[in-house]
Amino acid sequence: MKQARMILDKDFTIGSVDKRIFGSFIEHLGRAVYGGIYEPGHPTADKLGFRQDVAKLVRDLQVPIIRYPGGNFVSGFNWEDSVGPRSQRPKRLDLAWFTTETNQVGMHEFLDWASQVKAETMYAVNLGTRGADAARNVVEYANHPGGSYYSDLRIQNGAKDPFGIKLWCLGNEMDGPWQIGHKTAYEYGRLANETAKVMKWVDPTIELVACGSSALDMPTFGAWEREMLEECYDNIEYVSLHRYYGNRTANTPDFLARSMDMDAFIKSVAAICDAVGGRRHSKKKLGLSFDEWNVWYHSSEQDKEIQKKDKWGPALPLLEDIYNFEDALLVGSMLVTLLRNADRVKIACLAQLVNVIAPIMTRNGGGAWAQTIYWPFMHASLYGRGTALRPIVESPVYDCTDYEAVPLLDATATLSPEGDVTIFAVNRDLKEPLELSADLRAFGKLQVAEHIVLHHDDVNAINTEEAPNTVAPVTKVDGTMDDGKLSISIPALSWNVIRLKKI
C-alpha cells in the first residue's frame, strides 16, 4: 500500500486566496461568442439573444471575472466598432484568426451578459495596431460618469451609469511574433507605460496588467519581463503569464507532471519582478495575472483544415478541444499550483470558457454540456476560497521523461472563514491508490462532510452531448477522523476534494 502524509496548521498559511484566480476568458474567436454564449433564435435564448443553458453552466462555476475581448483578436480590434446601433456596426476581417467579426456582440452586450452570469469584466485594450489614444478613450467611454465626448456617447448608446471596469490588460502576448503589432520588450514597455499613464489619468481607480511572456519556452522569456518592466514598473499592478500544455506523445506520467513547469514559471516571473523592483528601490510588489492557462492541443490539426477550407468565415468552429479524463487531472493539478502560489498569483483565467478550449461546449441549435475539465475548475472555484494553507506533503515520487522526483500526490488545502478545511488532491499514480494520512489537529474538531472524486478507468474518456456524464464527479463520505488525524484513500488517477466541516 502506498502511503502519503500531509500536515496542516492554521498558522502555516500562504495567504488569502484572491477570488479572481477563478477567472476565465471569452475571446471573439471561433464559437465562443457567436454560437456559444450568444445565439438568437436558440430555444433557450433570452430577449438579448444569450443562451440561458450556457449562462446556467457558467453561473454554476461562480466565475468572478472574465477577460474580454481577446486574446490575439484584441490586437487588431477597434473598440468603437463594437458600440452604437448594431445595424451600423462594421464587419471586419480578423487577422488574428482569419475570420470575419460581425460586431453584433459588443461592449454593452457583453457587459450585460457578464452581469447575468455575475462576473466582472477584465477588459483588454489593443496595443497591436493602436495605442494610448484609443485606450484612454475606451476608459473614458466605460468609466467616466458623463459630460465628455466618450462618456456622453455611452449614455447615448443606452448606458446611463458607467460600467466601472476595474481591471484592464495592456494588450495581449506582445512578445509573440504571431501577434498583430508584435513589439520588442523595449517598444512594448514604453508603449505600455505611456498608455497606463493616460488610462489612469482618466480613471485613477483602475488596475493594469502588463504582458509578460506568452509561454515559458519563448526565446525572449526573462529578458522580456526584465526589459519591459524597466519601462512600466511604476504604472502597472500585475504581469501576465500564459501557458498551455498538451500530451502529444501520449505519455500520461509526463503530461500529469506539467504543473511542475507551471510552478517554475510562476516562481521565475515573481523573481524577475522582484529583481526589477529591487533595482529600482521600489516599495511596490507586483502581482501575477496567469490570465491564460489550460490544456490545448487536441484541435490543432483540425483547425488548419478549417482555416484552409473556410478562410474569413464567421464563427468557425476553431480551437474546439474535446477534453478527456487525463486533461481534467492536469487541470486539477494546475489549480492546486495556482492555490499554492496564492501569495503572488492574484488573477488567473482558465482559457477559455465556452467552445474555444473550454469547459463548456455547445451545439448550434442544440445542447450545452460540461467537458471533463469543468469539474475540477468548478470544485476549486466553489471550495477554494478563503486562506490558502501551506501544507507539508510527503509523497512517493516517480521519474518520467521530462521530470525527476514528481510527487504522486499533488495536494494543497484551504481554510474557509467559517473554519472548514478543504483538501484538493490529485493522485498521479496510474495504478495504485494512495493512503493519505493528514494531521489536522490544529483546527479543532472537524468531520468529513464529503469526499468528491473524479475518476475514470480510461484516460481518454470524454463527455459528449449524448453522454454528458461519462466523466463526472461522485460524492461519498469516507475516511476516518481520529483525534484530529484524517485517514483516507485517494484512488489511482483521480481528482479529489475532501471537505472537512468544523463541528
Residues interacting with ligand AHR, by CB under 6 A? 27, 70-72, 172-173, 214, 292, 351-352
Nearer to ligand AHR, 137 or 352 (CB): 352
Nearer to ligand AHR, 80 or 292 (CB): 292
Point out which residues pair with 502 in neighbouring strands. 446
Cβ 443 to ligand AHR, closest distance in Å? Answer: 39
Nearer to ligand AHR, 70 or 189 (CB): 70
One-letter amino acid for residue 113 of the chain: W
3-state secondary structure of 152: helix
Cβ 71 to ligand AHR, closest distance in Å? Answer: 3
Nearer to ligand AHR, 124 or 257 (CB): 124
Cβ 114 to ligand AHR, closest distance in Å? Answer: 18
Contact criterion met (CB below 8 Å) for 485 and 441: yes
Nearer to ligand AHR, 318 or 497 (CB): 318
* Phi-psi domain of 181 (left: phi exceeds 0; alpha: psi -120 through 50; beta: other): left
Cβ 303 to ligand AHR, closest distance in Å? Answer: 11
Please list, in sequence order, all residues whose beta carbon lies within 8 angstroms of the beta carbon of residue 355, skipping any fewer than 6 positions away: 30, 31, 32, 35, 36, 317, 320, 361, 362
One-letter amino acid for residue 403 of the chain: Y
Task: Retrieve residue 428's grid coordinates.
Answer: 498521479
Distance from C-alpha of 115 to C-alpha of 121, rounded to nearest angstrom:
9
Nearest residue (beta carbon) to ligand AHR = 71
In the chain, what is the greatest distance between 2 CA atoms, to the nearest angstrom? 71
Nearer to ligand AHR, 299 or 362 (CB): 299
One-letter amino acid for residue 296 of the chain: W
Could you list the active site residues?
A: 173, 292
The C-alpha angle with vertex 392 and arms to 390 and 393, in degrees rounded to 5, equals: 120
Cβ 69 to ligand AHR, closest distance in Å? Answer: 10
Distance from C-alpha of 494 to C-alpha of 496, rounded to nearest angstrom:
6
CA quadruple 222, 270, 330, 348: dihedral, nearest 10 = -110
Contact criterion met (CB below 8 Å) for 31 and 364: yes
Nearer to ligand AHR, 94 or 326 (CB): 94
Nearer to ligand AHR, 172 or 494 (CB): 172
Task: Return the HEC string of 199-230.
Answer: HHHHCCCCEEEECCCCCCCCCCCCHHHHHHHH
Cβ 470 to ligand AHR, closest distance in Å? Answer: 25
Cβ 46 to ligand AHR, closest distance in Å? Answer: 27
Strand boundaries in 171-280, DSSP class E:
207-210, 238-245
Q: Which residues of 14-48 are buried (b: 16+ CB within 10 A; e: fewer)?
A: beebbbbbbbbbbbbbbbbbbbbbbbeebeebeee
Task: Retrieve residue 379's grid coordinates.
Answer: 470544485
Cβ 215 to ligand AHR, closest distance in Å? Answer: 8
Contact criterion met (CB below 8 Å) for 143 and 136: no
Distance from C-alpha of 319 to C-alpha of 357, rounded to nearest angstrom:
6
